[in-house]
Structure 1
Amino acid sequence: MSEEILMNITPMETRVAVVENGVLQEVHIERTQSRGLVGNIYKGRVVRVLPGMQAAFVDIGLERAAFIHMGELQIPEGRQIDSISGLLHDGQALVVQVTKDPIGSKGARLTTYFSMPSRYLVHMPSSDHIGVSLKIEDETERERLKLLVADCLKAETLPEFGGFIIRTAAEGVNEADMRADIRYLYRLWQQVQEQINDCSGNCLIYEELPLALRTLRDLVGEQTEKIRIDSRETLGKALQFVTELVPGVGELIEHYPGERPLFDLHGIEDEIQRALERKVPLKSGGYLIIDPTEAMTTIDVNTGAFVGHRNLEETIFKTNLEAAMAIARQLRLRNVGGIIIIDFIDMEDEEHRRQVLRTLERQLERDHAKTHITGLTELGLVQMTRKRTRESLSQLLCEPCSTCQGRGELRTAETVCYEVFREILREARAYQAEGYLVLASQSVVDRLLDEEAGNLADLETFIGRPIKLQVESLYSQEQYDIVLL
């Protein structure tokens, strides 16, 4: 598998595309005026403690107060505290780290268990444990890495400054690179502590790296063959960053000087547009329907025009296999998080069900976000979760339709006409007017003058008052007003 990382940089935003074998797999977008907050450390102030919820709201200088649960608060050793009121009080200063960006109407989520990643490690100041990523499965390599980190800490003669999680990228790493990583994290933690001591009131203590540098730290792997950047300024920063933290990656980085936009050259713009659509076609002729809701995202698999060559069961099995691969890609591409329900087409063969589920699991192994699948029910439903830390692609690029308010449907002109009739009847019973003026959209007025003309005449006779119509070009099909004359 060959992988390219493409970076499109403008003063307004940074966009990163991960392309595997010529196919877009991930898109990351960070806008200059609204950068993500995950990983940032703030000194804030408790504004409200909620003992009933065992949680508190903390002002860290954002538009909405952030939220922290008692389980995310460090409890001093030797103390047993049953209520959050024993830890926090209104007005208290508190140093916190953002674990989830504000999404929709919800404020940011916080923790006091800090974690700061480097290329090979995640530093956890409040721990003394050395753990290893579960994606490193070889037990011999896991033990080697644990011993390597412990030996490097001794060799660097650094004072104890916390525990570490060894990241997947560390597999096969040598001692020199690991020691460089530890030195970087030690300097970073020293800077954070100095900032905490120097800061008074609400302030930003530590800011996570910008997207371009975060990509070099977190997304570059053994399969990465090329990193193309279309900005000379960012290219310089990237080369300086990898020299210090990710040695060996510098030779993969190159500048793209072409006049044709980098994303256009690789068809990325079209792929992003398709990732915002509800329907996802499959090569076989089947398709997916992806519907995000407030509580979860549902994905429906359909055979469409694909009828197979032998029988219906074969058709269903092949469609579900292809869908499983497409779904894993769509989750990464759209950055779908939270609860996800997948409605595969019902399969009678137990072996077919097992293979479809295994295919989905295998494809999700390449996902950087944490995923968990509960299994496949008899109805063909798969329930899974994918860790949500940032907004999805659609939340970032789109907003609810001002006409339908995000429902995706409008009341028909006929329905609105009947609502108008009922409203006129209510007004006629309540007020003695000379007549009524209906302000409505073109489609509603056209229907009142055509298909509903007879009903409109009957209503005028019934109430004994004239009804006039006026088109309001700025009204949506569902909007109307009744004016008393």
Structure 2
Amino acid sequence: MSEEILINVTPRETRVALVENGMLQEVLVERSSRRGYVGNIYKGRISRVMPGMQAAFVEVGLQRTAFLHASDIVRPSLPIVADNGDLLPPLPPPIGELVREGQEVIVQIVKDPIGTKGARLTTHLSIPSRYLVLLPYSKVLGVSARIEVEEERARLKEMLAGLVGESPLGYIVRTNAEGQAGESLAEDVAYLGRLWAAVQDSAAKARVGECVYEDLALAQRALRDLMRPSIEKVRIDSRETLERAQRFVAQFMPELAERVEHYPGERPIFDLYGVEDEIQKALRKEVPLKSGGYLIVDQTEAMTTIDVNTGAFLGSRNLEETVFRTNLEAAQAAARQLRLRNLGGIIIIDFIDMTDEEHKRQVIRLLEKALARDHAKTTVYEMSELGLVEMTRKRTTESLERQLCEPCPACAGRGSLKTAETVTYEIFREITRAVRQFEAAKLLVLAAPKVVGRILDEEGAAVAELEEFIGKTIRFQAEEHYSQEQYDVVLL
């Protein structure tokens, strides 16, 4: 599989694209005016304890207070034994026993502010490096679940145990460490040790609301998280960013240093690879499939829904086979769209109904296989009787659409406008309401050209009846800059 990382830098924005076999799979965007906060560590203060929610609100220097749940607070916990002797996960004690108002805490942001919600916090700090994740408050040595070969998992865990010895710090081996030698892990252990000492020193001196550890800028973060032996090239169109990236790669992954190169072309790098067009397509609801079918992707506050349709695909054998082929293609396309659009939370995929149980299993297996390359954690549940697949995808930042777009001012995010007919009758009601409240000799109605045109062409008799009813003349004036739903009734 051919994989490349493209990094496009302008003075106020950095964008990273991951391209596999010429097809865009992932887009990351960071703007200097709105850098993400995930991974940053702050000194905060508990501003309010909410016993009913088992949570507290914390001031960390952001616009809105952040949210800290009791389950995200480090504490000694004893296992609970069920009646049958099984060990159950410990329940968090009441939030009031864990924190108090005015208390200072060191917290890390695990989810950016999204919509009207503040950032989500944890006191279970974690600091990633190239091959490891440091867990300073957890004496645990683990290996990423994405490393599936048992012999490799055992080798890495044994190697890590030898490196950390009796250290009180915990570590998780990242997926990138698969196949790496002990020297690479040793360098990361030393680096993370120095970094944690610096964080502790900063935290001791910091005031409430100050950041004591900030995650890397997007370009270096992308190299840390996405760079692996299968990446053939990293192409960067900024000399300054290239130099920083080369220093970063030379320090942490020297064996891949020669793959980082400058893109000097006149044509923008995202245009050359077709990335700009793919980003525009990712902002649309409809996703065409090669077979002629299509997906409809709807993102709402509560969940994201993906509807699968056969469209123009008629198949060549029978209906069940046509539906099965469409669903297989849709499963791969849906997995790509979730990653490309950075959609998270609860996701419902409405596949076309299938009667064959084996077909259903194959569609689910293909969906899981397609999601396996996703960096975000996903969980897929069995297909329901209605052909619905429920799944979750971990969300830490805003989706691509919410990063790049805002609600339409004309429809206020509804995705539809009132018809000219509906607005016409609203205007008539508003006229009646206005003359009952205020004295006026005549009225002037300002509205969109389409609405005024409809009133004059189709509602002449209704306007005459209304003028007779209220005993006043009404004049209509078209305003080019008015949206279809906008109007004003002026008393003269």
Cα distance, 1:432 vs structure 2:
4.5
Partner of 1:187: 194
Q: CA RMSD in A?
A: 1.6
1:358-397 map, 5 Å: 358-397=365-404
CA contact (8 A) 1:42 1:95 kept: yes
Partner of 1:93: 104
Partner of 1:406: 413
1:45-194 map, 5 Å: 45-75=45-75, 82-154=93-165, 160-194=167-201
SS of the equivalent of 1:304 reads: coil
Partner of 2:83: none
Q: How does the TM-score come out when normalised to structure 2? A: 0.95
**Are residues 60 and 437 of structure 1, via their aligned partners in 2, closer, same or farther at CA, if it must alter by over 3 Å?**
same
Quick one: distance in 2 between partners of 1:261 and 1:81?
52
Quick one: distance in 1 between partners of 2:171 and 2:433?
70
Say if 2:302 is the partner of 1:295: yes
Amino acid aligned to 1:63: Q
CA contact (8 A) 2:61 2:208 kept: no
Quick one: distance in 2 between partners of 1:77 and 1:320?
46
Partner of 1:309: 316
Q: Which of 256, 262, 266 lines up with 1:249 in the alignment?
A: 256
CA contact (8 A) 1:12 1:31 kept: yes
Quick one: distance in 1 between partners of 2:98 and 2:387?
47
Runs (5+) with no aligned partner, structure 2: 79-89
Amino acid aligned to 1:151: G
SS of the equivalent of 1:317 reads: helix
1:276-287 map, 5 Å: 276-287=283-294
Which deviations, in whole Å up to 9, do the C-alpha atoms of 1:239-275 show, x marking residues without a partner?
A: 2112222231212111111111111111111111111
SS of the equivalent of 2:444 reads: strand
CA contact (8 A) 2:443 2:489 kept: yes
Partner of 1:425: 432
Quick one: distance in 1 between partners of 2:156 and 2:167?
18
Say if 2:203 is the partner of 1:203: no
CA contact (8 A) 1:161 1:186 kept: no
Which deviations, in whole Å up to 9, do the C-alpha atoms of 1:319-357 show, x marking residues without a partner?
A: 111111111111111000111111111111111111111
Which deviations, in whole Å up to 9, do the C-alpha atoms of 1:46-68 show, x marking residues without a partner?
A: 21111221111111111111111
CA contact (8 A) 1:325 1:359 kept: yes
Cα distance, 1:397 vs structure 2:
0.3
Quick one: distance in 1 between partners of 2:22 and 2:281?
16
Cα distance, 1:431 vs structure 2:
4.1
Quick one: distance in 2 between partners of 1:427 and 1:240?
70
CA contact (8 A) 2:71 2:92 kept: no
Q: How many residues align structurally?
A: 481
CA contact (8 A) 2:235 2:261 kept: yes
Quick one: distance in 1 between partners of 2:429 and 2:182?
79
Quick one: distance in 2 between partners of 1:211 and 1:81?
35
Q: How does the TM-score come out when normalised to structure 1? A: 0.96
Say if 2:343 is the partner of 1:336: yes
SS of the equivalent of 1:319 reads: helix
Percent identity, aligned pairs only, is: 61
